[in-house]
Chains A and B, each alone.
Chain A
Amino acid sequence: MNGYAGKILRINLSDHTYKTENLDHEKALKYIGGRGLGSRIMAEEVPPTVDAFDPKNKVIIATGPLTGTPAPAGGRYMVVTKSPLTGTIASSNSGGYWGSELKFAGYDLLILEGKSPKPVNIFIEDDKIAFKDAGHVWGKIVSETTSILAEEAPDKAKILCIGPAGENLSKISAVMNDINRAAGRSGVGAVVGSKNLKAIVVKGSSRPKIADSEKLKEVVKESRGKIKDNGVTGQGLPTYGTAVLVNIINEGGVFPTNNFQTTYFDKAENISGEHLAENFLVKRESCFACPIACGRYAKADEIEGGGPEYETIWAFGAACGIDDMKSVIKANYWCNEMGLDTISAGVTIAAAMELYQRGKITDEEIDEGLSLKWGAADSLVSWVKKMGRREGTIGDKMAEGSYRMAEHYGMPEVSMAVKKQELPAYDPRGIRGQGLQYATSNRGGCHVRGYMISPEILGLPQKLDRFAIDGKAEWVKIFQDLTAYIDSAGLCLFTSFAIDAEGYAKLTNAVLGTDFTQEDLLEAGDRIWNLERDYNLKAGIDPSQDTLPRRLLNDPIPDGPSKGNVTRLEEMLPKYYEIRGWTEKGIPKPETLEKLSV
């Protein structure tokens, strides 16, 4: 089988057994792999109404057909499961080197079932699978777990694990790999933790078969050339990383500050990508087969590690009114060590700060020596650690994410989340397509299900008026569908700044020997989108949740370059439902599901 490894490894954690199954090639081509195929298997095997922490929930770790091939930035894998944060289907994506290694070991997907009676690690070396006691690493932070297991593993094995946050069932915990790469969102780490699984160590010796190696060489050369020549992927991201967005988004007055109360941060320069590069950057880092190398490795005092990324800088920075880059770098580091989603962690602290501002959290509840005042940089790291370990009254509530915490204090509207998942670093009141995208994302508040920032702010592939309504539904659908394909193929979304759907079709065909057109890829994305939607509806996530926090719908931006605007979601949503082939109420029509053969 070309591209695919051709095998699924099904692991039963309850009795520590496993079996391998052949990949259904026809189904794989229909759902591509990664997010799409993982979601398809979830729909077949896991009842949508299952509780995320029920042993009947499964964790599907899925590579795509291009993972581990020479295709540029083809090192991604997905963690697909039922989310404890949102109640939707979750698929969280990560880079690094673990995903490609799983493919090299001969597997497209791992399906993790049941619950281990006690903490366990899984070691995979090609067809040798071993279950080993994890008592000695349970409770340990990610870097320590990784070093200990590296000693027990074959040379150059790759390690995926959860941190204390996942063990403690934090609903905003991540699955970590290669120490500082994260399948970050939707609380996937907690589902792994609920199964008493600490780590998966993998080492592989094979390489995926390529349908037409000569053709692939030619197509890879062409796409690498496009990546190099593109200003964003060839210069911007390599030089400054994602953090370069801080100033751009702030200059447009859409940089949410103090938990989205304002949208222009007058101290943004202190947390900018330029400031990071000049003062804290140690080196760049790249993932498997990636010519972009957007990864940062930064140092602040005694702390050094991977990151921070733009979203993280914003979440711990402007969202909390903080302009101290050292504290942001340290908070990012401790999120990685605890295995926490940096976006949700930062936005949850920001929500706690607003609850304090509004008198809902009182001084008596706050741990001694800590602060929840806007700009309280010195407390950031402590809050992250307490969240990860569920220490103290506030830390324990923060571990549940902003929505449940704010609901506890009787002010759920303070949670800047969609479907209970915290929003990222772009205020949709001044970027209207992004607002529609947030509201309709199948995993709740998220920017990488359809990155409308690209056309609405960056002008790629063409510049759209960010305040316009017309045409946005169509753009959002195309971005969501193409992204679903990229996520399923095993590629990094950042390649899409330089490569278009036709380029992806060429790469895919050279690897798989298929003759997909760009329309076929978009149709596969549309199919995946509808499958996820169908699963969510069956899980009880009704379309009334296709909305945004009240503040973004009702309160005009108070000042700055985007002053006076609200999101105007209600003007875009009907059109979006219509072009999706859904009813006015947001339910996929039977003929739509039939046409896409979901």
Chain B
Amino acid sequence: MEIKVRLFATLRENRGKELMLTLPEKATPADVINELDIPKADVAILLVNGRDGDFNQELNEGDVVSIFPPVGGG
């Protein structure tokens, strides 16, 4: 299945802003970060379709996974 991945801040370095990944059925966000060689510790915010995501949830065709390192402000 095809998953859209959107990366932000320092996670873009050498990876780009937005990627389409082809993953097997039942793939999870944990598989996404493995595929992109992003250490779990570098992920501060994980969203699936804009909602709080879980590393182990099953993704569906066309899902958008957004990944942020620790950032903040206000």
Contact = CB atoms under 8 A, between A and B. Distances in A.
Are A and B interaction partners?
yes
Interface of A: 230-233, 235-237, 239-245, 247-248, 251-253, 269, 273-274, 294, 309-311, 447-448, 451, 453-454, 457-460, 463, 465-466, 493-494, 497, 560-562
A241 B17 CA distance: 19
Contact of B73 (A231, A243, A251, A560): A243
A76 to B, nearest CB: 15
A424 B65 CA distance: 27
B39 interface: no
Interface stretch (B21-29, B30-38, B41-49): B41-49
B74 A448 contact: yes
Nearest to A560: B50
B9 A561 contact: no
A344 B65 CA distance: 34
Given A235-B10, A248-B8, A459-B45, A240 B50 contact: no
A241 B73 CA distance: 7
Contacts of A310: 73-74
Nearest to A250: B50
Contacts of A294: 73
Nearest to B71: A236
B21 to A, nearest CB: 17
25 contacts: A230-B70, A231-B44, A232-B70, A232-B71, A232-B73, A235-B71, A236-B9, A236-B69, A236-B70, A236-B71, A237-B73, A239-B10, A240-B9, A242-B72, A244-B9, A244-B71, A248-B68, A248-B71, A309-B73, A310-B73, A458-B71, A459-B44, A459-B45, A561-B50, A561-B51
B8 A311 contact: no
Given A236-B72, A248-B68, A459-B44, 8 more contacts: A235-B69, A237-B72, A239-B9, A245-B71, A251-B50, A310-B73, A457-B45, A458-B72
B2 to A, nearest CB: 19
A241 B8 CA distance: 14
Nearest to A493: B74
Contacts of A248: 8, 45, 68, 71
Counting from the closest, the 10 A-B pairs by CB-CB distance are A561-B50, A231-B70, A242-B73, A236-B71, A232-B72, A244-B71, A251-B66, A245-B73, A253-B50, A458-B72
Contacts of A453: 74
Nearest to A243: B73
From B47, B66, B69, B72, name the one whose CB has the most chain A CB atoms within 10 angstroms: B72
B18 to A, nearest CB: 9
Contacts of A244: 8-9, 71-73
From A232, A310, A560, name the one whose CB has the most chain B CB atoms within 10 angstroms: A232
From B6, B9, B70, B71, name the one whose CB has the most chain A CB atoms within 10 angstroms: B71
A103 to B, nearest CB: 25
B52 A240 contact: no
Contacts of A237: 71-73
B41 to A, nearest CB: 9
A240 B12 CA distance: 13
Contacts of A241: 73
From A245, A247, A447, name the one whose CB has the most chain B CB atoms within 10 angstroms: A247
A310 B6 CA distance: 20
From B12, B47, B71, B74, name the one whose CB has the most chain A CB atoms within 10 angstroms: B74
Contacts of B6: 251
Nearest to A458: B72
B71 A561 contact: no
Contacts of A458: 44-45, 71-72
